A and B are shown apart, each in its own frame.
Chain A
Amino acid sequence: MTVGPAPQQSALSVGPITAAPIDAPAEVQDLVPAYETRGVWRLALDVFLEHRLAVFGVGVVVFMTLFCFIGPLIYHTDQTTTDLNNQFITPGAGHVLGTDQLGFDLLGRLMVGGQTSIEVGLAAALIATTFGVLFGAIAGFFGRFVDALMMRFVDVGLAIPPLFLALFLASAFQPITLWTLIVVVAVDAWLIPARLIRAETLTLRTREYVQAVTMMGGSGARIVLRHIVPNSIGTIMVNATFQVADAILLVAALGFLGLGIPLPATNWGLMLSNGVTFVADGYWWLIYPAGIAIVLTVVAFNFIGDGLRDALEVRLQKR
């Protein structure tokens, strides 16, 4: 095998990601048939599609997203002004799921509340995963003192029960906005991906191809971003999916504890928190729809995560 491009060339190409991978010599790229990279993903897709629960999960997530974001365009309700003449209407013709104590239509409220829950869940999982992955990869790549220091920080974070940390942060940063919620949840959630990717990096950095990049003069940033992160993508995606599920639960818990976005905005947890007040009055529609929405969405993301794990973790495919 020939030696790759001159070191300077590698070092220069650190900035923007160019179309062709520069690390591998042209001859080696030619030896790898183009379909093989596609094949890995197609194989993963096949395994994923065989996982019936995961496919069901995708269906539920698509349905919930359409329901929450497209639903309000079809089913028009007033979700900003209260209507105390029409509180606690039993589900029926006018209001499919009835109304709550402020006269809001509950089906419409479920859509609006779902928007917050899904938006915060996705955004927090994205931020937490990105930050956690970079943190873990950097710690694992540099090793030694840097690693020890960075991972003890993660240990400290993990020692504080997540809901206690979230509640503390949420109470400290009043008034709560959509972004406060996202940040609070992300601050809670990034520790797990950091730890997972750090462990993965410790094994990846000893691989020949990483050593080859080092020999060719590739910078640390290049190794982390172009080699370690892409090779951990399976672990990252699986964990990110579980992160969304956990984030939706955490937002719901904070809402239930009264730390949500103020009225007229809402989320599924806040809706349930209102429902509890009237639990003795038999207003079942204040309790079940929002709870079912949370469980369905969270179960769906957990199923998807399970399917992705089967599809992307090569270790499991051997069985």
Chain B
Amino acid sequence: MIGYIIRRVIQAVFITLGVTLLVFLLLHLLPGGPARAILGPRANAVQIASFNHDNGLDQPVWTQYGTYVQHLATLDFGYSYKLNQTVGALLAEDLPKTLVLVGLSYVIAIVIAIPLGIYQAVRRNRIDDYVLTGASFVFYSMPVFWLGIILIVIFSEILHLLPPEGPQGATVGDLFGQFTSLILPVVTLALGTIALFSRYMRSSTLENLVQDYVRTARAKGASDTRVLFFHVLRNALIPILTLIGLSISFIFSGALIVEALFNYPGIGLLFWNAAITQDYPVILGVIVVTGLATVLGSLLADVLYAAADPRVRYTKA
């Protein structure tokens, strides 16, 4: 077990380094490079050369990458010339707010999707299962922003119950201070996730219901409820652990759209603005941070999976 975790952590470190390398190289493949992006199209050759020299951009790419990684290790993500702040400060301000959005949606999604999936598995191929399966297909296929628009139309334009904009403010405390504003963004993000998780939970439960241990438990006289909640549920939850780990990048993508739609001040909105204004230090910083979150998430899921299912430790390299 310890060996497995150590192997997996080393792998995660390499993947994170890989993310920084990939994004760093992409940035240097851009037409004109960072100097052109920061100084603008009217900068002349002398200005560009002087900027490159000042920022070490005339060094070989590998030296630059080394410096970049060194800076990252000290949490120095560079400087946004467009926003006139360090990227580190921007991330420190906006990342917690995105984590609130993502975290709340995850909790809601898990709390709803797991019972829903079990219910569908138990009621499989009956009318309510079909309706729920159809609904989850629709929610899964629905663009997050369209779902958000519809919720805005219903809950703020027609019913006037909730504000159409996300909470504003610099700190996480500000967000919770405007709790009603938080509801629509969180629900929008959660609905698609519920659809995804409940589909997996349904098939995972179904797969376990036909296993030999279920027959054994029944033969020993266990009631349906006992079999379902004491035997099947434990095993059916294991693949969901992996799914939660793997879906982190999917959730971050959804969060970006939700933040853009509701003007929610998280790293998604920060990234979107940076992409439009081509503010590359910010783009790079956000990708590294979300990449790190994804890697950590799947690392955590794998470790939990190994703890829950002993077979994994021996078969996975």
Contacts and interface: CB of A to CB of B under 8 A. Distances in A.
Interface of A: 152-153, 155-165, 167-172, 245, 249, 252-253, 256-259, 269, 272-273, 275-276, 279-280, 282, 284, 287, 291, 294-295, 298-299, 302-303
A165 B252 CA distance: 12
Contacts of B294: 158-161
B108 interface: no
B18 A156 contact: yes
Contacts, number: 140
A168 B283 contact: yes
A161 B250 contact: yes
Interface residues of B, number: 47
Interface of B: 11, 14-16, 18-19, 21-23, 26, 30, 137-138, 140-146, 149-150, 152-153, 157, 164, 248-250, 252-253, 256-257, 260-261, 271-272, 275-276, 278, 283, 286-287, 290-291, 294-295
B276 A258 contact: yes
Nearest to A276: B149
Nearest to A171: B275
A294 B271 CA distance: 25
A291 B141 CA distance: 11
B185 to A, nearest CB: 14
A272 B152 CA distance: 14
B253 A163 contact: yes
Contact of B275 (A159, A170, A287, A291): A170
Nearest to A294: B143
Given A161-B290, A162-B253, A275 B143 contact: no
B149 A279 contact: yes
A287 B261 CA distance: 14
27 contacts: A155-B18, A156-B15, A159-B16, A159-B18, A159-B295, A160-B23, A160-B291, A161-B248, A161-B253, A163-B252, A164-B256, A168-B23, A168-B283, A249-B141, A256-B257, A259-B275, A259-B276, A269-B145, A272-B145, A276-B145, A279-B164, A282-B157, A287-B149, A295-B142, A298-B142, A299-B138, A302-B140
Contacts of B23: 160, 168
A171 B287 CA distance: 14
B130 to A, nearest CB: 10
A157 B22 contact: yes
A165 B27 CA distance: 12
B275 A295 contact: no
A299 B137 contact: yes
Contacts of A252: 143
Given A167-B272, A279-B152, A282-B157, 13 more contacts: A153-B18, A159-B15, A160-B287, A161-B249, A161-B291, A164-B271, A168-B23, A168-B283, A171-B278, A253-B257, A291-B150, A294-B143, A299-B141
Contacts of B252: 161, 163-164
Nearest to A290: B146
Given A155-B18, A167-B256, A275 B145 contact: no
B143 A253 contact: yes
10 A-B pairs with the lowest CB-CB distances in the bound complex, closest first: A163-B253, A156-B18, A298-B141, A171-B275, A161-B249, A291-B146, A161-B252, A299-B141, A159-B291, A167-B275
A294 B146 contact: yes
Contacts of A155: 11, 15, 18
A172 B144 contact: no
A160 B19 contact: yes
A252 B141 CA distance: 12
A58 to B, nearest CB: 15
B137 A302 contact: yes
Nearest to A296: B141
A272 to B, nearest CB: 6
Contacts of A279: 149, 152-153, 157, 164
Contacts of B141: 245, 249, 295, 298-299, 302
A299 B291 CA distance: 29
Contacts of A295: 138, 141-143, 146
Nearest to A282: B157
Contacts of B143: 249, 252-253, 256, 269, 272, 291, 294-295
Nearest to A256: B145
Contacts of A164: 252-253, 256, 271, 286-287, 290
B19 A156 contact: yes
Contacts of B260: 256-257
